[in-house]
Structure 1
Amino acid sequence: MWHDLVVVQIPIVEKVVRTVAVYALLLVLFRIAGKRGLAQLNTFDMVVVFLLSNVVQNAIIGNDNSLVGGAIGAATLIAVNSGVTRWLARDPRAARVLEGTPTTVVRNGTLVPGALHSLALRPSELEHAIRIQNGDTVSDVARARLEPDGQLLVTLKAGEQSATRDDVEDLRRRLETIERLLTEIADGRRPSR
């Protein structure tokens, strides 16, 4: 039993190569699938993720069920991902190639023609994202774009945005001025400015 736990049953280099190859393949597949594949996961996306992990498991581990072999595969996967993440943070060109670029889906309250279709994004998903970000309808949106990581960023038109603390403080100061002026008028004094 201990032998099966600690003895790697395939060469370590093969295990590392398998892990890197599967990582690269999945990276390419998700890049081809587009940003929509990384956006909010629906039921179908969850099924794919669960099945995908099972499908590629044997490609990573091969004929090795040892604990050490699994640890080597996991460590390789984490190291490769960490390296790619750091590379993307330093190299904007690599980020554009591997992650893609943002896609504008709404401009000045109007859907960008064909954008939802090309991203396989349903209007209901866009409307939901707008409501989450304090908008009511597409017409409230100055700009909305789907980022390479699948996040939908919505910028509301100025008149549709929520009041800020500064807005509330300015309103409070103005009301205090009005109250002071009304008190002076009620007391028969000439209002001061």
Structure 2
Amino acid sequence: MNPYLDIVFRSIAIYLFMVIVLRIFGKKQLSQLNTADVILILLISNSVQNAMVGNNTSLYGGMVAALALFVVNFIFKKVMSKSNFIRELVQDTPEILIHDGKIAFATIAKLGITNEELLEAMREHGVEYYKDVKLAMFEIDGSISIISGDKNLRQSHHKRKIHKTLGTLNN
């Protein structure tokens, strides 16, 4: 087999493997990276490099692997935009955190969102109390969107991306 074609197949296999692993372990964790996450990404990239290029450490081998990743990513995004099945398979759905001032404790616990993270997102949207939140959503990109019921509060389009941690929500 052509060594460059071998790199293409290996790179596509690693890409698909990473999509599956991120779906299993939670892509929301990548919405805001801490030091441990950066270290993990660096180690993963180093560990899969040889799986993609094999013994070919040439400039062309690296360029072929990178090009294959760009192409498969482009195609994958196009397929996701056209196929609800693939999109639902790969992406999570938005989750309601607060509705009409009532906190969805089970959802917040399941997502591992701490009280501090929720309060910080509320402050960033100009909301002081839970009871003033009409709707708070944990979006598919890992951000928290908040709509307040008070028309006098500033309207903010800022989204707070959080890093999922294990924690409890305290009132």
Q: Same fold (TM over 0.5)?
A: yes
Work out whether 1:153 is the aligned partner of 2:145: yes
SS in 1 for 2:105: coil
Structure 1, unaligned runs of 5 or more: 1-9, 165-193
Work out whether 1:98 is the aligned partner of 2:90: yes
Alignment of 1:73-84 (within 5 A): 73-84=65-76
Find the partner of 2:35 among 18, 35, 43.
43
Q: Could you list the per-position Cα deviations for residues 129-176 of structure 1 after superposition, in whole angstroms to 9, with x for gaps in the alignment? A: 222222224333211111222222211223463279xxxxxxxxxxxx
The structure in which a higher percent of residues are helix is 1
Task: Assess, with a 3 A threshold, how the Cα gap between structure 1 residues 119 and 60 changes in structure 2: closer, same or farther.
Answer: same
Distance, in Å, in 1 between the alignment partners of 2:155 and 2:79 is: 39
- Say which is worse superposed, 74-83 or 60-69, in terms of deviation: 60-69
Distance, in Å, in 2 between the alignment partners of 1:130 and 1:160 is: 15
By relative contact order (CA 8 Å, sep 6+), the higher-ranking structure is 2
Question: Matched residue pairs, number?
Answer: 155
Larger CA Rg, structure 1 vs 2: 1
Task: Assess, with a 3 A threshold, how the Cα gap between structure 1 residues 96 and 163 changes in structure 2: closer, same or farther.
Answer: closer
SS in 1 for 2:134: strand
Equivalent position of 1:117 in the other structure: 109
Distance, in Å, in 2 between the alignment partners of 1:163 and 1:145 is: 16
Work out whether 1:61 is the aligned partner of 2:53: yes
Equivalent position of 1:126 in the other structure: 118
Which amino acid in 2 is paired with 1:121? I
The two structures, once aligned, show a CA RMSD in angstroms of 2.1
Equivalent position of 2:131 in the other structure: 139
Distance, in Å, in 2 between the alignment partners of 1:151 and 1:117 is: 16
Structure 2, unaligned runs of 5 or more: 157-171
Percent identity between the two aligned chains: 30
TM-score, scaled relative to structure 2: 0.80
Runs of 4+ in 1 over 6 A off after TM superposition: none
Contact between 1:147 and 1:153, CA under 8 Å: does it hold in 2?
A: yes
